[in-house]
Amino acid sequence: MKILAIGAHPDDLEPQIGGTLAKFVSQGAQVVSVAATSTSTGASNSQVRDAEGKAAANCLGASYLSLGLSPHEFTYSREFIEIVDQLFISEKPDLVFCVNEKDSHHEHQAIAKCVRSASRKNCFSLVSLNQAFPGGVATFSYNYWSDISAFHESKVRAVMCYESQVAKYGEAWLEAIIARDKQWGFNIGCSFAEVANIDKWIS
């Protein structure tokens, strides 16, 4: 199985779905972590952020790909939908995880909408992620639950690779991610879990 996990920035994926990606890798799936934009927010330059993304993906057993799009130009448009189209043509995924278009970050919204538009003519399953931290107020739906108890340590190691973001948001960022995983785990009777929303499922 080929899985793409797509975010607008390098740190959009592991906090939301890292444990699930590590779980898929353990089952033999090929996972690619994709960052749409080249951003330096919270770091000295974009190369630092990409290096963090590559290290985090490696903790999960995934590979890392940056599309290198300018965050100052990136938007929901025909031009960028075509770029996502080409990504799907070259990678041929069976399953795509993507940040949620209900997310408060405008670049998360843009890549989510581009992915949704590009997915209309592709035969892969599509799952939208949970709210990225820190986030605003939105109403999210959850119908995808994943027990990540056996993979939570790998997830935490991956999140800690984002040293620039830990420095920016403080330890509370990591603590909030872990607490949320515990909350969802408690809801389904396990130690740690992740949740998401199935937009399209092909079995």
CATH code (residue 40): 3.40.50.10320
CB 14 within 8 A of CB 159: yes
- 51 confidence band (pLDDT: 50, 70, 90): very high
Q: Mean pLDDT score of the chain, rounded to an integer?
A: 95
CA distance 161 to 50: 11
> What pLDDT is attached to residue 133?
85
Give the chain's domain count. 1
pLDDT at 40 over 80: no
Query: What's the pTM?
Result: 0.95
Long-range contacts of 177-182 (CB under 8 A, 24+ apart): 177/15, 177/133, 180/130, 180/133, 181/19, 181/148, 181/152, 181/155
> What pLDDT is attached to residue 100?
95
**Which amino acid makes up residue 140?**
F
Distances (CA, A) of 9 to 36, 132, 138, 151: 6, 11, 20, 23
Structure letter (DSSP) for residue 130 = P
Say what percent of the chain tops pLDDT 70: 100
pLDDT at 155 over 90: yes
pLDDT at 43 over 90: no
CA distance 163 to 52: 7
> Can you tell me the mean pLDDT for 53-78?
96
> What pLDDT is attached to residue 198?
97
> What pLDDT is attached to residue 189?
98
CB 160 within 8 A of CB 152: no
- Residue 85: Cβ within 10 Å count: 18
> What pLDDT is attached to residue 52?
96
pLDDT at 46 over 90: no
pLDDT per residue as tens digits for the range 107-144? 999 999 999 999 998 899 999 999 888 877 778 899 99
Domain limits for position 189 = 2-200
Q: Which residues pair with 197 in a beta bridge?
A: 128
